[in-house]
Amino acid sequence: MHKATIPREGDLYKVINIENKTFNIHYGYYEENERDKVEPLPVFPDLKKNPAYTADGNPIVTAIQEPCEYYIPLNKERSEEWCGDCISYLDADKEISICGCTERMLE
């Protein structure tokens, strides 16, 4: 019987490429107090605090990022209020994607 491997803090979860940007996602913790409570989980970059953009000026966002003021839910009855739940999140199957909101594009 094969026992599942528990990831360790710092282990690589995956590499995500969005146009000209590469994001190395490692296992870790979002908050220091999580260390005693849960196994390490994939930690995504804080793209709200440290924004990244495509060559065309579109913001790159994570699905679990807090949405901006232009947020429009895909499903108004089941709104999750995360970027990945917005009509402007271009690839709903990905953990990091391009925000297609024209209001948020760089000039």
Q: Could you tell me if residue 7 is inside a domain?
A: no
pLDDT for the residue numbered 68: 93
Nearest alpha-carbon partner for 51 in 65, 41, 39, 40: 65
- Which phi and psi angles does 15 have, rounded to 5°? -110, 130
Nearest alpha-carbon partner for 26 in 8, 50, 15, 10: 10
Do 102 and 94 contact (CB within 8 A), yes or no?
A: no
Domain region containing 87: 12-104
Do 63 and 49 contact (CB within 8 A), yes or no?
A: no
Reported confidence tier of residue 107, pLDDT bands at 50, 70, 90: confident
Q: Which of 8 and 80 is assigned the larger pLDDT?
A: 8
How is residue 78 written in tokens?
Answer: 């089941």
The structural domain count of the chain equals: 1
Reported confidence tier of residue 34, pLDDT bands at 50, 70, 90: confident
Q: Could you tell me if residue 2 is inside a domain?
A: no
- The total number of residues shown for the chain amounts to 107
Do 88 and 58 contact (CB within 8 A), yes or no?
A: no
Q: Could you tell me if residue 73 is inside a domain?
A: yes
Q: Could you tell me if residue 41 is inside a domain?
A: yes
pLDDT tens-digit series, residues 60-93: 999 999 999 999 998 888 777 899 999 999 998 9
Q: Which of 4 and 19 is assigned the larger pLDDT?
A: 19
Q: Could you tell me if residue 42 is inside a domain?
A: yes
